[in-house]
Amino acid sequence: MTPLFNFSGKTAIITGAGSGIGKSIAITFAQQGAFVFILDIDVKQAQEVADQINEYGGKAVALACNISHQAEVNTVFEQVIKTSGSINILVNNAGIAHIGNVENTSASDFERIFQVNVKGVYHCLHAAIPYMKAQGGGVILNMASVAARVGIADRFAYSMSKGAVASMTLSVAKDYLPFNIRCNSISPARVHTPFVDGFIAKNYAGKEEEIFEKLSKSQPIGRMGKPEEVAALALFLCADEAGFITGTDYLIDGGFVSLNN
C-alpha cells in the first residue's frame, strides 16, 4: 500500500524556511520524501536547516533569496528548475511583522511591509506558475493570518498585507483551475517561534515570563501554536490527498477567531 502524504519525487520551494514555521514545514516535507529548496534572506540559517535535513537522509538545498526583489526571485526559481527539473509545491511563508495603527505607521514602514508580504508573494507566484502550467499542475500554499479575518490592535500594515495574501489566494485558485494548480492558504494565530521570543525580549525586558503567559492565554485553547502543528496542516494541504481542496483558507488558531467573540 502507498503510504499517506508521500512526497517522493516532488520538489518543494519554501520561502522564509530558515527558522520558525518555514523551517518546520521544510523538515516535515523532507521527511515525507520531498526535495526541499529552502529560501531565506539569511542564507546561513537556511544552510543550517538544509544540513539538518541532509544529515538525516533527506534532500535539501539552501538558497539566499530576498523575495522583495523580483529579479532575484526569478533567478532563484530558474536555479531550482535547473537543479530539480520541476516545481511541484510552492509555500509562500516568508513575511515580516509591524506594530502600529494607521496614525503611527510611517509611509516607509507601510512600504516595507508591502514589499515583502505582498509583492514578495506576488513575485514568487509570478515566477512559479508558468513552470507549474508547463509541467501539468502544482500546489501553492500561502501563509495568511487571523489578522486578515478579525481586527487586531496595532497591526494596521500587517493586517493589510495578510488580507492581500488571502485575496491573492482566491484569485490564483480561480484563474488556474484549468491548469491543475491548486492554491490554498493557512491563517495561524500566535505561534511560538524565535520571532515571538525575540519580540518579547526586545519590548518587555525583565517581564518575559509574564508576557509570554499573557500572550499564550490570549488563545482560547490556552497556549500558542507550535510550528510543527502548522507544518502538519501544510503537509496535508500540499499532498495529493487534498486534491479536492482549492481556494480555501484554513484557520489554525486555537479557537481565536470563533471563540473570542
Q: Please give the Cα distance from 48 to 2 (Å, whole number).
A: 31
Domain ranges for the chain, please list them: 11-189+225-254, 191-224
Give me the pLDDT at residue 48, please.
98
Contact 138, 177 (CB under 8 A): no
R_g (Cα) of the chain, nearest Å: 18
Sequence-ordered list of residues with C-beta below 8 angstroms from that of 261, at least 6 positions apart, any chain? none
Give catalytic residues, as residue numbers. Answer: 158
State the residue for C-alpha cell 516568508: 94
Give me the pLDDT at residue 218, please.
87
Q: Please give the Cα distance from 103 to 46 (Å, whole number).
A: 36
Per-residue tens of pLDDT for the chain, all 261 residues? 778 999 999 999 999 999 999 999 999 999 999 999 999 999 999 999 999 999 999 999 999 999 999 999 999 999 999 999 999 999 999 999 999 999 999 999 999 999 999 999 999 999 999 999 999 999 999 999 999 999 999 999 999 999 999 999 999 999 999 999 999 999 999 999 988 898 888 878 899 999 999 989 989 999 999 999 999 999 999 999 999 999 999 999 999 999 976
The C-alpha angle with vertex 233 and arms to 5 and 198, in degrees rounded to 5, equals 130
Up-side HSE of residue 188: CA atoms within 13 Å toward CB? 22
- Cβ-based neighbour number of residue 209 at 10 Å: 10
Q: Which of 174, 128, 112, 153 is nearest to 260 (CA)?
A: 153
- For residue 177, the 8-state DSSP code is G
Q: C-alpha distances in angstroms, 61 versus 5, 89, 134, 201, 209?
A: 21, 15, 23, 32, 37
Using CB atoms within 10 Å of the CB of residue 158, give its burial: 0 to 12 exposed, 13 to 18 middle, 19+ buried.
buried
CATH number assigned to the domain with residue range 11-189+225-254, chosen from the 4 options 3.90.1150.10, 3.40.50.300, 3.40.50.720, 3.30.70.270: 3.40.50.720
Given CA atoms 119, 81, 249, 33 in this order, what sign does their dihedral have?
negative
Q: Please give the Cα distance from 92 to 117 (Å, whole number).
A: 9
Q: Which of 82, 88, 75, 85 is nearest to 39 (CA)?
A: 75
Please report, as a single letter, which amino acid is at residue 185. S
